[in-house]
Amino acid sequence: MSKAIKAAMVTAGALLSLSAQAGGVMGAGVGYADDLRHDNASGFKSQGTLGGTFYAGYRFEQLPLLAELSYLDMGSHRLTDSQNSDHVGEFGFKGVNASVGVPLRIGRMVTTWIKAGYYNGNSDVRIDGLAAPLGSGIETRFTHKSTGASAGLGADFMLSPMLGLRFDYQVLFEARDFTGGDLEGKSHLSLASVGLTLAFGGGQPRATPVAEHTYTGMPAAAAPTPAAVVPVAVQGPAVLAGTVVRARPTLDAGASATMASETSVQLMSKTENSTGTWWYVKSGDVQGWVQDSQVHQ
């Protein structure tokens, strides 16, 4: 296992351990790797091939920002002679890419992003004997350190709170490519991939502490329905098993928490509407609306 792969795996594990509470992500994908310039000064031409990537990172909850570290394998590109298309060797790139970007969430299931970063890896070239410098007949191999800027864009389509599909397109600018004798070339390498993504932290519904208040989402008192909220401030009641705490006093409101049987609550206020009678309750850091049928005193 190369040092680049080991470094990527170690860093990925560290990112995941730090990001479990901050929207950590990891995954892998396969796709089409290409040399965007194809022709180069040494007279060779490359062909696209299968490549792959593994990545890990996290998305900040308070800022529109993501950070990722990925390992890239651009596969083995077939090299041909630019004049007669004869096979002359192979070219490949492997390395790591660190990037930061801006995510844009579209609905509940789709997140798109753009990102920029810096890559570091090795470009490997093998030239067949007859195509080697001066036609020496001896197979020639080159390995060059290659670093530079990168850019990318893509989207995650979540199938569940933790599992989704990722479509990703990355470009490595000015990567070292075919080299022979005194000739040297650089190319923009791209990888368009599709794969699976896993999300950690922030995926499951959780109770959100809020300040004590009366429900402000109801119409003004002049409206015929629903009835005004009545403060009651009663101590001592409890709820039944599996009581769902909602953000609003309606059955279609999202659930913010589920309470266990006989959880003691404080009744803060009460309201009635077309869906029945509702209590605004508080228990520790959990607050929200529950149905009257779930409360007993």
121-170 pLDDT, tens digit per residue, is 998 877 775 555 545 556 777 788 889 999 999 999 989 888 999 999 99
Beta bridge partners of 257: 245
| C-alpha distances out from residue 255 to 22, 163, 243, 263, Å | 21, 21, 10, 17
Determine the average pLDDT of the residues in 229-253: 72
pLDDT score of 15 more than 60? no
> Which residues constitute the domain of residue 97?
3-200
In the numeric block, which tokens belong to residue 192?
Answer: 């368009």
178 and 278 share one domain: no
Handedness of CA 99, 105, 111, 112 (dihedral sign): negative
Of 185, 200, 215, which one is at a domain's C-terminal end? 200
118 and 256 share one domain: no
More confident residue, 51 or 276: 51
142 and 240 share one domain: no
Answer yes or no: is 33 within a domain.
Answer: yes
In the numeric block, which tokens belong to residue 258?
Answer: 């589920």
191 and 264 share one domain: no
Q: Which of 64-68, 130-134, 245-249, 262-266 has the lowest mean pLDDT?
A: 130-134
26 and 140 share one domain: yes
> Do the Cβ atoms of 229 and 271 come closer than 8 Å?
yes
187 and 242 share one domain: no
Q: What is the pLDDT of residue 115?
A: 96
272 and 192 share one domain: no
139 and 256 share one domain: no
pLDDT score of 230 more than 80? no
Answer yes or no: is 207 within a domain.
Answer: no
Separation between Cα atoms, residue 98 and residue 149, nearest integer Å: 10
Q: What is the pLDDT of residue 263?
A: 83
H/E element holding 272? strand 266-273
Answer yes or no: is 209 within a domain.
Answer: no
171 and 263 share one domain: no
The residues, ordered by sequence, that sit 6+ positions from 15 with a Cβ below 8 Å of its Cβ are 24, 56, 57, 58, 67, 69
pTM: 0.57
Which pLDDT band, with edges at 50, 70 and 90, does 296 fall under?
A: confident
90 and 159 share one domain: yes
Of 143, 178, 200, which one is at a domain's C-terminal end? 200
- CATH number where 283 lies: 2.30.30.170
| CA proximity to 117, closest of 167, 153, 81 | 153
Q: What percentage of the chain has pLDDT greater than the value 70?
A: 69
Q: What is the pLDDT of residue 72?
A: 95
| C-alpha distances out from residue 171 to 16, 18, 25, 168, 181, Å | 25, 28, 21, 10, 27
Answer yes or no: is 212 within a domain.
Answer: no
Answer yes or no: is 220 within a domain.
Answer: no
Answer yes or no: is 87 within a domain.
Answer: yes
81 and 126 share one domain: yes
pLDDT score of 209 more than 60? no
Residue with tokens 């923009």: 188
- CATH number where 111 lies: 2.40.160.20
Buried (b) or exposed (e) across 131-168, using 16+ Cβ within 10 A? bbeeeeeeebebeeebebebbbebbbebeeeeebebbb
Which pLDDT band, with edges at 50, 70 and 90, does 201 fall under?
A: low
Count the domains in the chain: 2
Q: What is the pLDDT of residue 140?
A: 74
186 and 275 share one domain: no
For the ranges 75-79, 83-87, 157-161, 249-253, the one whose mean pLDDT is highest? 157-161
Answer yes or no: is 127 within a domain.
Answer: yes
Determine the average pLDDT of the residues in 182-193: 75
